[in-house]
Structure 1
Amino acid sequence: MQHTPRPLRLLVLTHSFWPEHSPPQRRWSSLTRYLVPSGWDVSFLAPAPRFRGAVEQGGGLTIWGRERGPLGETIHRVPYLSTGHGRVCKLADQLFTAAASTVRGLFTGPSDVILVTAPSLPLLATGWLLARLRGVPFVVEMRDAWPNLAEDANLVRSGGKSVINGVVEFVQNHADLVVTVTEGFARTLRERGVRSVVTIRNGVVLGNTPRLLPPPQGRERLEVLYLGNHGESQNLERLVEAAALVGDRMRLTMVGQGSRKASLQELAARLDAPVRFLPPEYGSAVFERYAEADSVVVSLRDDWKSFDATIPSKTYEVLSVGRHITAIVRGEAARVFADAGEGDVVSGRAADVARLWEGLIEDPARLRPRSSGRAWVAEHAEYSDLATRYDAHLRDLVAAKGAGRGLSASAPAEAPRPAPAAGRRGGAAGRDAAMGDHRAA
């Protein structure tokens, strides 16, 4: 009788996961739906959901408990400390959950690979420690350009910076594999001497990402949408200022939450800007919001050098849905839009953004997107292909480090088939599990 290899066991440490809606949740739910049928037993170590809506969707979740996720994944829960948006609150919460994850991680059962997805920097140390205790390959996934981003953002004073840089670089240098989501940051790490680096970008599940009908013609005003995090990284003040310059010939809709939302609302009121603020939306509501828009904004601040090698992960979804894109980005993100042949890349000056929007009002034909964006995503950022690449790299690690223990890392006999489409299960959490990211990673 032929022996059937057991599934390989992957433990992913993350600061947020289902039923919350967050960058790591969307990325890893999308990857998991392909990794599970390809022969992986995927489990997650994550804090309990922080927000009321997520708790209701998740059902009877218990801190320190274990539950089954919607794609067959196992989720091990730890407590969290704070839901605040401020830097101090976030750092304290990350330190607390990292410490809790270290304890909980000792009791999650055996693993063949341990992977930690950052930017939760304290969690990097937890993942490294657990992998070393178990003697299994350790993978670091850097969704942001740390520690470069910490320096740009002045997250801590100079003495603390050296400590953070030292810890992050130590973990990166001692990981068996470092995964980045951009080529630019992968190049930076290689120049720094990190020995094993691959790029597996963020993406979308195109089968669950519709191409929308064109927006209505002959509107009285231009409808511009920003959907995502309202934080320091996006520098959204310039959007409000640009909207104020254009005036009542347009309306800017800002959907989401973040540390700067209150100040943005105050700025809009002070400038009498045509801006509408809405709470975060998920699932099918996101596509409904895209359908209402003439142009969708993708924005990163242009005064942090680390963002030269950063691509907002919602870039790929916006390229797929068929809307004009106001791209306030530079570096690698700007090159993605140029390669895809979609959108207008503009500087971060409010006057330049306003000039672009006024040009769209005067010449509405510019709002018609091409089909090249979706075709580019199909070639470069479809999660089925990204998961296949991830699967191959993880199996190589197991084969290299675990062959002596009799583990089988051979590829499955046939190409992996995805789990049932998350968008068909009903409920916002199920739909969102198969969607791309709506915020910067």
Structure 2
Amino acid sequence: MHILLIHPYFLPEDSAGSGRWNETVRYWTAAGHRVTVLAGSVHYLSGKTFARADDTEQTGQGLHVIRVRMSRWYNRGRMGRLWAYATFFGASLWAGLWRVPGPVDLILATSPPLTVGLTGWLLSRLYRKPLVLELRDLWPDAPVQLGYLHHPLAKKLAYALEAFLYRKATHIVTLTTAFEEVLIGQKGAPRANLSTVTNGADLALTERVLQTVDRRDFRQKQRLEGYFWIIYAGAHGPANGLAVVLDAAEALHLHRVGFLLLGDGPEKPSLQAEAARRGLVNVRFLAALPKPEVIRWIAAADAGLVLMRPTPIFDTMLSAKLPDYLACRKPVLVGIDGLSRRLAEQHAFGRYVDPTKPGQWIDAIRLYLESPDSVTSHGNNGYQYVCAQADRRVLAHRYLTILDRVRSLHQTRL
């Protein structure tokens, strides 16, 4: 099967950031399938342009990545982001028409932004191939609730595009079952046209890296001794609400609890400046790193943290970094209510921390400070959960089964 994937944030190999699709595609090509990716030229975390923009990368047997130019203003406010979406739409549509090698069997567009679905629909019409629309976030609900999209006409157009794509997509894949229930209950999507493939961890990669890590030596070299370190690995953007981590660090400094903030994003410079102003020695900022290095830092930490601004839309999501913490046997502080909190409590791999009350986080952390056995037991529980339900290899093959079924149904209807 030749799959055309439209993903503006698909990363070059060994780049910092979410490698979910890199890992998934690796399993697909290893199974003998071909994947062509229409990708953007700008890194979603840093806003920097990749060196090979407007070029074709052959990054492995069966995989071709076509990078198209998009605006470098992605991280320059709301209008900059909208312009980046618009430029990617035009460039990816042109590339889809003229630069894709050979016939494709199926088009897969992963959103956000929803405009990739429009590119996918147009190409599916021209190619006469099925369109699978993946929803990594619920748009436009997320930007509306976060205050990014508030003009009445813009909201009306965004919701009209959403409804149009849900009607036109051959199949829709969501990232959580909570997304699926919203689409069925609030958006009118038929259940038969929906599937869920969750975030996962590349357990094979994680195990290989962990075998090379001497945790005690790493902590000594990085001057981590004497503190209970909680790591946050991910984007530093407005939606992530990381300012509360500084408040929590200030409240917890006498307890020798520290925070490792690993990643990049538009809010990082202001967070660094505020931490320096307050003199927070228990907050360390780490650069965005390739996945193997991220795993080493997670292994060196004592617990993980997932966090988003307290907004109803995020109650339906699961952080992409959560499976990585669990794969490293780390307990997780969950600063997201809803689905994330329920899973942590149901499977006993973490504790909820209210993002609106960072001064009270000590109540949740005390369990780990006073009972090292709880760190071990929650870590082991999380590892069992991720092995059973979030193994990237299993999820990749489940996704392939969905795509093959969609392709087969489409062929029988021709």
Output the TM-score relative to the length of structure 2: 0.87
1:244–1:161 distance in 2 versus 1, CA, 3 Å = same
Matched, 1:242 2:235: no
Secondary structure in 2 matching 1:69: strand
1:370–1:155 distance in 2 versus 1, CA, 3 Å = closer
Cross-structure match for 1:33: 26
Cross-structure match for 1:418: none
1:150–1:62 distance in 2 versus 1, CA, 3 Å = closer
Rounded to whole Å, the distance in 2 between the matches of 1:152 and 1:53 is 27
Secondary structure in 1 matching 2:60: coil
CA deviation vs aligned residue, 1:250-275 (integer Å, no higher than 9, x gap) = 32221111121122223323333231
After TM superposition, the structure 1 stretch with the greater mean CA deviation from structure 2, 201-210 or 361-370, is 361-370
Displacement after TM superposition at 1:359 (Å): 5.0
Instruction: Supply the RMSD in Å over aligned alpha carbons.
Output: 2.5
Output the TM-score relative to the length of structure 1: 0.82
Matched, 1:291 2:299: yes
Equivalent of 2:170 in 176, 184, 203: 176
Equivalent of 1:374 in 372, 383, 386: 383
CA deviation vs aligned residue, 1:178-232 (integer Å, no higher than 9, x gap) = 1001000111111221121110111112111136889769953222221111112
Rounded to whole Å, the distance in 2 between the matches of 1:269 and 1:370 is 32
After TM superposition, the structure 1 stretch with the greater mean CA deviation from structure 2, 266-275 or 242-251, is 266-275
1:214–1:182 distance in 2 versus 1, CA, 3 Å = farther
Cross-structure match for 1:280: 288
Cross-structure match for 2:408: 399
Secondary structure in 2 matching 1:247: helix
Greater per-residue helix proportion: 2
Q: Does the CA-based 8 Å contact 1:254-1:278 persist in structure 2?
A: yes
Rounded to whole Å, the distance in 2 between the matches of 1:84 and 1:138 is 26
Cross-structure match for 1:437: none
Structure 2: segments with no counterpart, 5+ residues = none
Matched, 1:233 2:233: no
Matched, 1:135 2:128: yes
Q: Does the CA-based 8 Å contact 1:253-1:278 persist in structure 2?
A: yes
Matched, 1:307 2:314: yes
Q: Which amino acid aligns with 2:183?
A: L
Matched, 1:208 2:199: no
Q: Which amino acid aligns with 2:291?
A: G
Q: Does the CA-based 8 Å contact 1:10-1:112 persist in structure 2?
A: yes
After TM superposition, the structure 1 stretch with the greater mean CA deviation from structure 2, 230-239 or 364-373, is 364-373
Structure 1: segments with no counterpart, 5+ residues = 1-7, 406-441
Cross-structure match for 2:41: 48
1:40–1:403 distance in 2 versus 1, CA, 3 Å = farther
Q: Which amino acid aligns with 1:390?
A: Y
Q: Which amino acid aligns with 1:329?
A: I
Matched, 1:198 2:195: yes
Matched, 1:161 2:130: no
Q: Which amino acid aligns with 2:278?
A: L
Q: Does the CA-based 8 Å contact 1:243-1:250 persist in structure 2?
A: yes
Equivalent of 2:273 in 266, 274, 282: 266
Cross-structure match for 1:146: 139
Amino-acid identity (%): 27
Q: Does the CA-based 8 Å contact 1:296-1:318 persist in structure 2?
A: yes
Count of aligned residue pairs for this structure pair: 391
Cross-structure match for 1:70: 60
Matched, 1:90 2:81: yes
1:354–1:54 distance in 2 versus 1, CA, 3 Å = farther
Secondary structure in 2 matching 1:307: helix
1:386–1:207 distance in 2 versus 1, CA, 3 Å = same
Secondary structure in 1 matching 2:67: strand
Secondary structure in 1 matching 2:199: coil
Rounded to whole Å, the distance in 1 between the matches of 2:195 and 2:139 is 16
Cross-structure match for 2:332: 325
Cross-structure match for 2:94: 103
Displacement after TM superposition at 1:117 (Å): 0.6
